[in-house]
Structure 1
Amino acid sequence: MSQPNDDAWWKSAVVYQIYPSSFKDGDGDGFGDLSGIIEKLDHLHTLGVDVVWLSPVYPSPWDDNGYDISDYRDIHPRFGTLDDWDRLREGLHARGMRLIMDLVVNHTSDEHPWFVGSRSSKDSPHRDFYFWRPGRDGAPPNNWGSVFSGPAWTRDETTGEYFLHLFTRRQPDLNWENPRVRREVHDIARWWLDRGADGFRMDVINFVSKTPEMPDGPSPVDGGYGLFAEYSINGPRLHEFLRELHEAAFAGRDVLTVGEMPGVGVEQAREHTDPANGEVSMVFQFEHVDLDHGPGGKFDPVPLDLRRLKASLDRWQLGLAERGWNSLYWNNHDQPRAVSRFGDDGEHRVASAKTLATTLHMMKGTPYVYQGEELGMANAHFADISAYRDVETLNHHREALAAGHDEARVMAGIARMSRDNARTPMQWDASPHAGFTTGTPWIAVNPDHTEINAEAALADPDSVFHHYRRLIALRKEHPVIVHGTYTPLLPDHPSVYAYTRALDGTVLTVIANWSADTVEVDLDPAVAGPAPEPLIGTHPDPEEPFAPLRPWESRVHLSR
């Protein structure tokens, strides 16, 4: 089983996510690689993070940017070799950092040998590694839709049956009902841990259990295909599968496991992350990053209501307060840049990036920093569809125009919400390709790199980078940040995010202005405890924690 929560090293850790294609190109081919990451390990060490999460670097046809894996025990030549991975592991360990891999085992590539065999014949020994079903009067077996639009089933001409793919048609879903599949997954996990990995981020791991009968979902309005979470995810054997994986691969090892779980609720997450259950260390949930999705979905965004955001995150903070554990994030490879999405990437970019960081890093849970977040990197605001590379974005553009939607509105939604906003190259300096590559980058560099880059940030003591560095250091210095109880303040205030953390007489007060206006704060000074002292802030901090807040100002006070 997992070690007791209070003793787990990952409680006080901060994780840094690297999207390898876009981090640093070491060989000039325009794609990031492992040797490029190794070049930049001192940047991570200076920042002070404890763990690097490496997005997929396995062999892949690259239908979904490497999340379609054809070999789980090797490195894509684009990124280097297993020897390069060993050098990366050693470089991180030598600097006191750990390395976790991406375990993508809900689906494989259609070029994985298992699927090649599975589709070859109904009698193949790998046939039931995947979900195969006959069609219904020339139509798919049910009306389930793919995450990337269209039906979740594709007919294969070789046998005339349909296979399930909840993502692209080149990402067939593995059948975890088959114990042979689960044993293969256990073997893969053990193989990487034996090689020196320190854990896993597990991609859409709650998709691995589905309702066995695979019934139709409620008919969508247009009679087409829909995403029916009540049937296709969080199935009846999910807890069993996760516990089995833990016992087979993780038990007895000092590892971090985080399960990406779209659609998971607080109660479910508590069960998954309760150390007594032996499933995962923590989960990624998506409730807070879905709040600005409009009636037409993510590409039809609406302004964020801070009160709804506070209600959501407060519910998770309180719901996992005594049992289980939170992960904390604004950004990752699937989300647009937070400073453009929730902050102000214009006049107040620096202050709003700092305030987003302060609000999150003082909460209870393990913070995740996505590459470039520590620089305050912003959305690229690409205006032409030819600049985009993401399959989800391209599918949406094609289908929206085919349905007659206004292209200017479609492009505005894409510019704000596309996953490619997170995937533009890391901005190392002000040179033509931001110091990312000497070649032609696989996706365009954000033009703002001449101003926003690591070289400039490290030279400026008041930069977003140094604010992140200080926040990360504070987590190591003050147990109240790791273990303190969380109490929300001003839940109905439209622009102030405030809360306290308390532990053994120590009180941490966090107060943040999420707007471009100066705001008064109406709170009893006693909330901050006796003689509170400034700990960190975005502006030169007044002694009084509840003084009026300047635009996008945040401050943290400590009372002992």
Structure 2
Amino acid sequence: MTKKWWQNAVVYQVYPRSYQDSNGDGVGDLAGLTQRLPYIKRLGADVIWLNPIYKSPDKDNGYDISDYQAIQPVYGSMADFDQMLATAHQTGLKILMDLVVNHTSDQHKWFQESRQSKDNPYADYYIWRDPVDGHAPNNWGSYFSGGAWTYEPKRGQYYLHLFAPGQPDLNWENPKVRQEVWNLMRFWLDKGVDGFRMDVINLISKPAGLPDAPVAPGAQYGNSEPLVSDGPKLNDYLQEMNREVLSHYDVMTVGEMPGSTPEDAIQYTGLDANELNMVFQFEHVGLSANPDERLGKWNDQPVQLIDLKRSLSRWQTALDGKGWNSLYWNNHDQPRAVSRFATDDPQYRVRAAKMLGTTLHMLQGTPYVYEGEELGETNVHYTKLSDYEDLESLNAYHQNVEEDHLVDSQTMLKYLAHISRDNARTPMQWDATANAGFTTGKPWFALNPNYPQINAKSQVDDDQSVFNYYRQLIALRHHSDLIVYGSYQALDPEDNQVFAYKRHYQGQTLLVISNFTAESVTRDYGQAQASQRLIGNYADDAGTTLRPYETKVYQFND
């Protein structure tokens, strides 16, 4: 296996709207990010994944792009981007852009032309179908609630949008569309960006004939995901993308792929394949879905540890030597990790955050740290609908409570407080001053009220902080082929309290033990015979005793 730079890298994700405002308008921007690059470098990260900064009507916070080659004015100018990119490179940081090409904004010039008539040059840039008996062409539901088709009177046809009506899906069957995508990719790569995170890239190939999707009992629309994920021409399109664009640059690529299996991922990320480097899979973050299929992900139940271990172990084992994993607990679309997978109880939050970081960073793959995760930031725990901003969350409330009457308002609010995307989108908690040091103006979105207790300034110089623990984890990975490349061995998969596993590489063994509970338990994995303890979230080592949320990593030299 040829070792690649991105296998040894750690990625830090920046949601620019919420990271750092430089001009007092209450919205994070590129100049603000530039100011904070030394902080990211101090953490030890190698790559910054930047959520979309392109021109957009912001119906979905930038994932509805109206111009791929222009900067959203609230984030600054192209000169600000160029300055940020140059400063990042001077600092030793690479920049990963968000590539959103399953769909555009309905304000994009392509769609504005396409909607006019069936015979203009952009007519086939999107997926249009005639009505069937006066209704939508099929029963597909949108990821953001409601139907996936919207009628356009000018054409007398429906257009497909797997997400919001303002996000029409591109027609990848059209070679002109693919050339447009290759051109916009080259535009950014020629500027010097270091790769792409590709938004829902496995949805770009739609099934022939666009058949109806299965419908859960009592549901209004069909679940299109099994039909649209990993479509029949996805490999062809990704291979063409690699051939035309990616193979000409030394870059990193990660494809977001809802619904993909390890077997799918090996096709796209095979170490000898010519497509992508790795995928974002959703299996482990989808484990606590509601038993009522009509409610989908909306639930407030904790993830069961046995299920979590089974999922992560499956991906570790399947991709070893064949593909490459991305490792993440949270991002801009997921709630805060410590609240979801452990506890944000102030008594244990710090240890729990360190425990989750250890469990993830010792796995095989490239770790991703979402802004604030390195501080142990928590869910915000909103209690009323007016607190929310996220389109997906608001649509789900209206559909599940007001339209379909599946749950009452208080139950749905509990679900939102547990799993809404807005939990991750509150402004970054820099210090204990007004607005957490994020802005001198009125923040675009309310801060998590715990920022006086949880913030970067209180942690960067504290040896016992979550921030400095993450620094240690990242430094360990940078200096250990065992951590980066070692094969994975699950231990006690049916243990519902402790997540333990081993990694093996060239005569060395790593043992990772993490207690996911607030109880003290005893487990003996032969740690007394270890050559050394590499890291742990308690100062001392209690041997076979695991204290609340304790994690520890041992190395054995054969």
Task: Please say which of residues 154-163 and 299-308 is displaced more in the overlay.
Answer: 299-308
Which residue does the alignment assign to 2:296? 297
2:458 is aligned with 1:456: yes
Where in structure 2 are the equivalents of 1:186-197 lying within 5 Å? 186-197=182-193
Distance 1:316 1:520 in 2: 28
Distance 1:409 1:182 in 2: 44
Equivalent AA in structure 1 for residue 550 of structure 2? E
Where in structure 2 are the equivalents of 1:55-454 lying within 5 Å? 55-222=51-218, 224-295=220-291, 296-346=295-345, 347-402=347-402, 403-404=404-405, 405-454=407-456
Quick check: 1:507–1:529 contact (8 Å CA) kept in 2? Answer: no
Quick check: 2:459–2:467 contact (8 Å CA) kept in 1? Answer: yes
SS state of the match for residue 458, structure 1?
coil
Equivalent AA in structure 1 for residue 363 of structure 2? M
Quick check: 2:300–2:414 contact (8 Å CA) kept in 1? Answer: no
Deviation of the 1:502 alpha carbon: 1.5
SS state of the match for residue 103, structure 2?
coil
Quick check: 1:307–1:492 contact (8 Å CA) kept in 2? Answer: yes
TM-score, length basis structure 2: 0.97
Distance 2:131 2:491 in 1: 55
Deviation of the 1:410 alpha carbon: 1.0
Which residue does the alignment assign to 1:503? 505
SS state of the match for residue 49, structure 2?
strand
Quick check: 2:328–2:369 contact (8 Å CA) kept in 1? Answer: yes
Distance 1:415 1:542 in 2: 36
TM-score, length basis structure 1: 0.97
Equivalent AA in structure 2 for residue 389 of structure 1? E
Where in structure 2 are the equivalents of 1:21-32 lying within 5 Å? 21-32=17-28
SS state of the match for residue 443, structure 2?
coil
Distance 2:475 2:142 in 1: 42
Deviation of the 1:109 alpha carbon: 0.2
Deviation of the 1:216 alpha carbon: 0.9
SS state of the match for residue 509, structure 2?
strand
Deviation of the 1:530 alpha carbon: 4.9
Which residue does the alignment assign to 1:558? 555
Q: Deviation per CA, 1:488-535: give whole Å up to 9, x if none.
A: 111111110111111112111110100000011043x1xx59542111
Closer/same/farther in 2, CA of residues 73 and 386 from structure 1, 3 Å limit: same
Closer/same/farther in 2, CA of residues 175 and 459 from structure 1, 3 Å limit: same
SS state of the match for residue 85, structure 1?
helix
Q: Deviation per CA, 1:457-502: give whole Å up to 9, x if none.
A: 1132100000000000000111100111111111111110111111
Q: Any unmatched runs of 5+ in structure 1?
A: none
Task: Please say which of residues 229-238 and 84-93 is displaced more in the overlay.
Answer: 229-238
Quick check: 1:31–1:78 contact (8 Å CA) kept in 2? Answer: yes
Which residue does the alignment assign to 1:470? 472
SS state of the match for residue 34, structure 2?
helix
Where in structure 2 are the equivalents of 1:8-23 lying within 5 Å? 8-23=4-19
Quick check: 2:271–2:324 contact (8 Å CA) kept in 1? Answer: no
Which residue does the alignment assign to 2:46? 50
2:543 is aligned with 1:541: no
Distance 2:530 2:134 in 1: 74
Q: Deviation per CA, 1:30-85: give whole Å up to 9, x if none.
A: 11000000110110010000000000000000010000000001100000011111
Deviation of the 1:343 alpha carbon: 1.1
Quick check: 2:332–2:424 contact (8 Å CA) kept in 1? Answer: yes
Deviation of the 1:270 alpha carbon: 0.8
Q: Deviation per CA, 1:144-203: give whole Å up to 9, x if none.
A: 110001110000111211000000000000000000000110111111000010000000
Distance 1:351 1:334 in 2: 24
Distance 1:24 1:531 in 2: 44
Quick check: 1:35–1:80 contact (8 Å CA) kept in 2? Answer: yes
SS state of the match for residue 379, structure 1?
coil
Q: Deviation per CA, 1:437-473: give whole Å up to 9, x if none.
A: 0111111000000000000011321000000000000
SS state of the match for residue 344, structure 1?
coil
Distance 2:420 2:282 in 1: 16
SS state of the match for residue 102, structure 1?
strand
Deviation of the 1:223 alpha carbon: 5.5
Deviation of the 1:6 alpha carbon: 3.4
Quick check: 2:530–2:554 contact (8 Å CA) kept in 1? Answer: no
Quick check: 2:104–2:168 contact (8 Å CA) kept in 1? Answer: yes
Equivalent AA in structure 1 for residue 329 of structure 2? W
SS state of the match for residue 441, structure 2?
coil
Q: Deviation per CA, 1:222-277: give whole Å up to 9, x if none.
A: 36212222322211100000000011111031100000000000101011101322
Equivalent AA in structure 2 for residue 257 of structure 1? T
SS state of the match for residue 99, structure 1?
strand
SS state of the match for residue 522, structure 2?
coil
Distance 2:302 2:92 in 1: 41
SS state of the match for residue 368, structure 2?
strand
Distance 2:513 2:165 in 1: 47
SS state of the match for residue 511, structure 1?
strand
Q: Any unmatched runs of 5+ in structure 2?
A: none
RMSD after superposition: 1.2
Deviation of the 1:543 alpha carbon: 7.2
Identity of aligned residues (%): 51
Equivalent AA in structure 2 for residue 160 of structure 1? G
Distance 1:543 1:216 in 2: 58
Distance 1:186 1:92 in 2: 25
Q: Deviation per CA, 1:73-122: give whole Å up to 9, x if none.
A: 11000000111111111111111110010000000000000000000111
SS state of the match for residue 434, structure 2?
coil
Equivalent AA in structure 2 for residue 114 of structure 1? W
Distance 1:194 1:399 in 2: 44
Quick check: 1:538–1:554 contact (8 Å CA) kept in 2? Answer: yes
Distance 1:538 1:223 in 2: 46
Quick check: 1:291–1:308 contact (8 Å CA) kept in 2? Answer: yes
Equivalent AA in structure 2 for residue 380 of structure 1? V
Which residue does the alignment assign to 2:482? 480
Quick check: 1:529–1:559 contact (8 Å CA) kept in 2? Answer: no
Equivalent AA in structure 2 for residue 553 of structure 1? E
Distance 2:285 2:56 in 1: 28
Quick check: 1:533–1:543 contact (8 Å CA) kept in 2? Answer: no
Closer/same/farther in 2, CA of residues 543 and 446 from structure 1, 3 Å limit: closer
Equivalent AA in structure 1 for residue 555 of structure 2? L
Closer/same/farther in 2, CA of residues 230 and 439 from structure 1, 3 Å limit: same
Q: 1:39 aligns with which of 14, 35, 39?
A: 35
Distance 1:99 1:360 in 2: 22
SS state of the match for residue 450, structure 1?
coil
Closer/same/farther in 2, CA of residues 543 and 349 from structure 1, 3 Å limit: closer
Quick check: 2:21–2:438 contact (8 Å CA) kept in 1? Answer: yes
Deviation of the 1:400 alpha carbon: 2.2
